[in-house]
Chains A and B, each alone.
Chain A
Amino acid sequence: MTTPTGGGTSARRAAREASATKSLKSAPQKNTTTGAPRRRDLDPDVLIALEEERDFLLRSLQDLEREHAAGDVDAADYEELKDDYTARAAAAIRAIEDRNATVKALRPQRDWKRTAVALVVVGFVAVGAGWLVFRNAGTRAPGQGLTGEARQDSANLILQAQGLTGQAQASLKAGDSAKALKQFENAVQAYDKALQLSPTNVEAMTYRGWVMHTIALSSDPSVGAQFDLQARQYLNDAIATDPTYSDARVFRAILERNAGEWAAAKVDLDAIDMNAIPLYMTQMVNGVKDDVAARRTS
C-alpha cells in the first residue's frame, strides 16, 4: 500500500470509489415542502442497498485488519483507512436505523377491531360458501362430471335419470332410505328436464311415472297413494301419446294389479307386444298375467 487513494486491495479501492455515490443515500431525504420523508427513500430496495454497503464496509474492515496483521499495510495507511471505513460503516448503520425507525413510525398501528371484523367477514363468507356448496352438491350420476353440467339432450337426461334410479335402488337395499329418496328426487328432476325439452317423450313420461311408483312403495301408505296417483297420470299420458309403447303398458298393468283393477290390467297386458320388451320385463309381465289369471279364475 503506497497512497491512501490509489493503493490497497481491490475491495478497498472499490469501496472508496463507491463511497462517493453510495453515501448520498445515507439518510432519508425530506420533502422540501412538507418535511415528510419521500416515498422513494422508504423503498425496501434502498434499504437493501444500504445493508449491502454496510456489509461491504464491515468486510473491508476485516480485510484491513488481516492485512495489517500480516504487515501488508503501513500504520499510517491503516489508521486512515480504518477511520474512513469505520465512519462510513457507522453512517450506513445510522441510515439503516433511521429508515427502520421512520418506517416503524409511519406504519399504522394494527387496528385489532378492524382485523377482527375482517376475520369475521372472511369466516362468514367461507362458512356460507361451504354451506351452499354442501347444499348444492348431489349424487354424481353416471357420466356426470365433478362440477357444473353441460345442457343435456333428452336422451342423455333419461340415461342420467336411469342411472340415478339404479343408485337409489342400491341405496334402498343398503338401508339408506334418506339417500335413496334424494337420488330418486334427482332422477325425477332429470326426467322433468327431458320432458321440458321434449314434451312428447314417452320414455321420459313412462319412467318418471315408474319412479313415482317406486317412491310410493317405500313411503307411508297415505303419502304413497298420492305418489301412485301421480305415477298413474304419467303412465296414462305416455299411453295416450303412443299406445304401442309397451313399457308404459307393463308399468300401468302392475299399478292396476296392485289396485285390484283386474280388467283394466288385462287390457294393458293384452296390448303388450312381448317381442318389444326386454327379458326382465317379460318376467314382470308373466308375473302380473299369472296374478290376473288367478284372480279371474277365483
Chain B
Amino acid sequence: MNLALGRAGVTLGLAAAVLGVITVGYGLVRKRPDLVRLSRWYAALVFLGGFVAAFAMERALITRDFTVKYVADNGSTKTPALYNFATMWGALQGSIILWALILGGYLVAVVLKFRKRLADPLVGWALFTMLIVCVFFFGLMAGPANPFKGFSPPVGFDGPGPNPLLQNNPLMAFHPPMLYLGYVGFTVPFAFAIAALITGRVGEGWLLATRRWTLIAWGFLTVGIILGSWWSYEVLGWGGYWAWDPVENASFLPWLTGTAYLHSVLVQERRGMLRVWNISLLCATFALTILGTWITRSGVLESVHAFTTSSIGIALISFFALIVFSTVGLIGWRGDRLRSPGRIDSPLSREGAFLANNVLFAAFAFVILLGTLFPLAVEALNNDRVSVGVPYFNRMTMPIGLTLLFLMAIAPVLPWRKASAELLRHRLIWPAWIGIGSMIFAVIVGARGFIPVLAFGLGGFAAGSAGRQIALATRRQGWRGFVGRANGGMVVHLGVIIIAMAFAASTSYVRQAEFTLTPGQSAKFAGHTLVYEGQNVKQESAKIVDQVLIRIDGTGPWAPSLNKFANGNQTIGTPSVRSTFTDDVALSVIDIKDGENGSVTIRVTVQPLIIWLWIGGGVMAFGTLLAVFPGRRRNPLDAVSAPLSVEPPKKPTGVTP
C-alpha cells in the first residue's frame, strides 16, 4: 500500500513536471497565454505528487512497513515517535522527498502569488524554470534515489533505526527542514533571474517581485545553519559548534552569496547598477545549494572516486554543471543590456560600502569553496588523501570577518551617492564611543589578545551604528521603525553582531581538559568545581543510557551519558551543558571503567558567551521576520537623493534628434 502510494506520488509529480515543462515552454515560445496559464494546474499536481510521496513515506515509517526498503534500512520499532517521523530526512532518498515536497510547495506559492500575472512571460519563464528543477528532483526519486524500493523482510525483522546521532536530540527534527526551506527557497529568485535573462526584462521589475522570497529563503537558511550548529554542540560532544567540516561549509556557502545578494540588490534597486553581479550572485547561490547537496550526498566525502560509482553523484554534478553553463551563457547573451549606465560616484557612499561588502562576501565564499574542494581536487589528480585544517579557515576568514564588522558599522549611516567627512563624524561619533567603551569593558572583564579585543570594539561600533538607525527610525515612524527591510535589517545586524561577539569570545577563550574521577572526587577547572557523584543507568526503548552525575559549582547534577543503542551496538555519547549568560560548562563522557571503583573519564569544555550564539540566531530570525513585513510604502525605484546627473555626450553617436 505505502509502496504503491509512494510510487504513485513520485510518478504523478514527475509526469506533471515534465508535461508542465512541455506545455508551458510551448506556450511561451508560441505566445499562447492559455497554455502558459495551465502552469497553475501543473504546479498543483507537482505539489500533490510530492505530498503523496511524503505522506506515503511517513505512513510507512509510522506503521513500520518494512516492505519499503528505506524503512527497513532506516526505521525501527524501537525508535521514538519524533525521531521516527524525522527519519524521512535522515538519509539520502528520504531527504530528496522532503526537497521535492518543499519545492512543490514553493511552486504552488508562486502560482498563487502571481495568479493574476500567469500569462506574463516573466512569470511564465520563471515557472518553466521551476518546473525543470522539479523534473530533476522527481527524476532523482524515480531513478537513482528511489525511496520506494521494495524489500521482503523475513519474519520478525526489525530495522536498525536511524543513525544514533540523529536520534539523540529533538533539534534534528527541525534543522534539516529549515535548511531545506532555505536551500529550496532560493529556487524562486533563481527562476525569476533566469526568466529575466530569457525575456530580456533585466531591469528592476523581477527584483521587486522576488525580494521578499529571497529574504524568506535566506531567513530559513540562517535558522537552519544556527540549528545545525546548536545540534552539533548539544549532540556531538566535542565542545564546539562549528568545525569547518565539509557539511557545514556546504550550507554556509549559499548563505554567504545570498547575504551578499541581499545587500547588492539594494544598489540595483536604487541606482540601477550591479545587474550582472546580482544575477550572478543569485545563480551562484542556487548552484551552490546543488553543489552542497553533491558534496554531502554523493559519497565524495568518503572518496573522490566514490561519487562516480553512484548515479546520484553524477546526476547532481551534471545538474550543477547545467546550471552554471546555462547561467553563464544567458548572462553572456544579455551582457549588453545588463551593463548599467552610471557608476559609483564615491567609495564613501552607501553603494560604495555595499560594493566593498560584496567583495568581502565573495572572497569569504571563495576561500571556503577553495578549502572545501582542494582535498577533492588533490585526490582526483594524484590520489593523495589530504585534509585542509581549521587554521586555514580561521586565518583566512578572520580578517574578512573583522572587516565586515567594520563595514557593518559604517554602511548604515552612509548616504547614497557620496558623504562628507563632517557628516560621517556627526553620525559615527556615538557608535565610535560605544565601540571604544566595549573594548575597555572587555579588557576590564578579562579579555586579552589583540584580535578578540578588536572584535569586541568593532562589534560595539557596529551595534552602536545599528542602534542609532533603529532609534532614528522609531522616532520618525513609531513602531513602524522596527519593520520593513531597512529597519528589520538593522535588527538582523544586531543578531549578527551578537553572534560575532560570542564567536570571538568562545573561540579565543575556550579551555578544555580531561579528568578521571572516582565517586565523590572533585576537580577544579577554569574557575569551576566539578564533583562526581556517581552513575545512573536508564533503560529506554531504543537504548541503554549510562549517565554520569556531576555537580558543577554545586548546581545539578548534570548528567552526560554514554548511550548504547540496541540496534547496531553503537555507543554514542551525549554531552550535558550548563549554560549561563557568561559561560557554558560542557561535560562529555569519554570512558566509564567497569570494576575500577566506578571511575569515569570526562571531558570538560568551558567557553564564554556560548548562549549568545543562539540568542543572536533568534534575533537574526526575528529581524528577518520584521524585514519581510512591508515597511513604509515607497517606490524603491524612486530617486533617493539628487537625480541622475548626466553630462551631455561630447560626441553624440547615432542619436536621432
Instruction: Give chain A's interface residues, CB within 8 Å of chain B.
Output: 31, 33-34, 36-40, 42-48, 51, 94, 97-98, 101-108, 125-126, 129-130, 132-141, 144-155, 197-198
Contact = CB atoms under 8 A, between A and B. Distances in A.
B637 interface: yes
Nearest to B369: A129
Interface stretch (B81-89, B94-102, B240-248): B240-248
Contacts of A145: 245-246, 301, 387
Given A36-B646, A46-B203, A146-B301, A139 B370 contact: no
B371 A133 contact: yes
B656 A98 contact: yes
Nearest to B514: A198
A33 B639 CA distance: 14
A147 B245 contact: yes
Contact of B652 (A31, A101, A150): A101
Interface residues of B, number: 69
Given A39-B637, A44-B337, A154 B590 contact: yes
Contacts of B378: 137
Nearest to A100: B654
B332 interface: no
B590 A132 contact: no
B655 A105 contact: yes
A150 B644 contact: no
B437 interface: no
Interface string B334-352: 0001111111000000000
B200 A125 contact: no
Contact of B374 (A37, A133, A151): A133
A108 B343 contact: yes
Contact of B392 (A136, A139, A144, A155): A136
20 contacts: A33-B643, A34-B643, A34-B645, A37-B646, A42-B341, A43-B205, A43-B637, A102-B341, A106-B342, A107-B339, A108-B342, A136-B392, A137-B386, A147-B244, A147-B249, A148-B245, A150-B243, A153-B514, A153-B603, A198-B514
Contacts of A47: 200, 337
Interface string B599-625: 000010100000000000000000000
A129 B390 contact: no
B401 to A, nearest CB: 15
A31 B638 CA distance: 13
Nearest to B338: A44
Contact of A103 (B341, B363, B371): B341
A149 B390 contact: yes
Interface string B623-657: 00000000000000101000111101100111110
Interface string B367-387: 100111011101000001111
Given A105-B649, A145-B246, A197 B372 contact: no
Contacts of B249: 147-148
Nearest to A93: B656
Contacts of A153: 238, 514, 588, 590, 603
B512 A151 contact: yes
B595 to A, nearest CB: 17
Contacts of B644: 31, 36-39
A132 B337 contact: no
Contacts of A33: 643
Contacts of A130: 370
Contacts of A140: 375, 385-387
Given A39-B639, A148-B390, 13 more contacts: A39-B644, A48-B199, A48-B200, A105-B646, A132-B395, A139-B387, A140-B386, A144-B387, A146-B387, A147-B375, A150-B238, A151-B238, A151-B512
Contacts of B588: 153
A46 B396 CA distance: 44
Contacts of A136: 388-389, 391-392, 395
A138 B239 CA distance: 23
A167 B603 CA distance: 28
A33 B646 CA distance: 12
A150 B388 contact: no
A178 to B, nearest CB: 13
A92 B203 CA distance: 19
Contact of B653 (A98, A104, A137): A104
Given A36-B646, A152-B238, A132 B514 contact: no
B336 to A, nearest CB: 9
Contact of B243 (A44, A125, A137, A148): A148
For the complex of A and B, 7 pairs with smallest distance between CB atoms: A148-B244, A136-B392, A106-B341, A105-B649, A45-B203, A43-B203, A150-B238
Contacts of A103: 341
B486 interface: no
A124 B372 CA distance: 20
A33 to B, nearest CB: 7
A125 B366 contact: yes
A197 B387 contact: no
B136 interface: no
A138 B645 CA distance: 56
A200 B605 CA distance: 18
Interface string B463-503: 00000000000000000000000000000000000000000
A130 B393 CA distance: 12
Contacts of A39: 272, 637, 639, 643-644
Contacts of B533: none
B591 interface: yes
A129 B343 contact: no
B357 to A, nearest CB: 16
B14 interface: no
Contact of A132 (B199, B372, B384, B396): B396
B297 interface: no
A155 B204 CA distance: 58
A38 B341 CA distance: 12
B263 interface: no
Contacts of A108: 342-343
Contact of A98 (B236, B246, B591, B655): B655
B201 A48 contact: yes
Contacts of B367: 129
Interface in B293-352: 301, 337-343
B92 to A, nearest CB: 18
Greatest chain B CB density within 10 A among A45, A97, A98 is at A45
B204 A43 contact: yes
